[in-house]
A and B are shown apart, each in its own frame.
Chain A
Amino acid sequence: DSGVTQTPKHLITATGQRVTLRCSPRSGDLSVYWYQQSLDQGLQFLIQYYNGEERAKGNILERFSAQQFPDLHSELNLSSLELGDSALYFCASSVGVQLDSYNEQFFGPGTRLTVL
């Protein structure tokens, strides 16, 4: 158990719908990362937050948005869902971001999204 929690574990929805995925980082971690992993594919970095502020953006679609709240939990919102959005969505957290220093990312168990 990494200490990172994600809810829900599974989500089945229809095209055109909107869903919200939730992530609680490890206690004390300030950075949260979101990744998308399609079937048998690599990890696609979506977005990163540090202490409530957006820090980095990857290949995140305009239909997707995220935020990190004052209690440091994060939510990933996916709207106007398409079949191709079906994937495993991981959240990861790390201690923080310091100049010239990187820290281990601890991954949550993921949310399996199926769009029908």
Chain B
Amino acid sequence: GENVEQHPSTLSVQEGDSAVIKCTYSDSASNYFPWYKQELGKRPQLIIDIRSNVGEKKDQRIAVTLNKTAKHFSLHITETQPEDSAVYFCAGSGQSNYQLIWGAGTKLIIKP
């Protein structure tokens, strides 16, 4: 069935360094890939998304890349800051009924 795998489950980086979170999807028909950030005790919020007709999208320190051939997409955060500490979820559009298939989440820890 449809599946989105997310790695790593936990990522610890030094403040100021870059962080990369990777997701792979199984459904070749998927065409929408959002990333959500969930801070501790708060609701998930969309931080960036990409559609299948685009290979890369940037928004300040955040970028997402998509490789349709390999069926994987990645979140890149540069110059990490303490406020980047959170759980990040990737998702891919599902084949049926327009639902999103969610990854398991990555806990990003920024070390001072």
Contacts and interface: CB of A to CB of B under 8 A. Distances in A.
18 contacts: A2-B43, A42-B103, A42-B104, A42-B105, A45-B99, A48-B98, A48-B99, A55-B99, A56-B96, A97-B98, A101-B32, A102-B32, A104-B34, A107-B44, A108-B43, A109-B42, A109-B43, A110-B43
A104 B100 contact: no
Per DSSP, chain A at the interface is: loop
A54 B4 CA distance: 23
B25 interface: no
Interface string B31-53: 11010000000111110010000
Nearest to B94: A56
Give chain B's interface residue range (CB within 8 Å of chain A). Answer: 20 to 34
A110 B40 CA distance: 13
A56 B44 contact: no
Contact of B31 (A48, A58, A100, A110): A100
Contact of A102 (B96, B98, B103): B98
Interface residues of A, number: 20
A101 B103 CA distance: 20
A101 B43 CA distance: 24
Given A42-B105, A102-B93, A90 B43 contact: yes
Interface string A4-34: 0000000000000000000000000000010
Contacts of A43: 44, 89, 102, 105
Given A42-B89, A42-B103, A104-B34, A56 B98 contact: yes
Contact of B100 (A55, A105, A110): A105
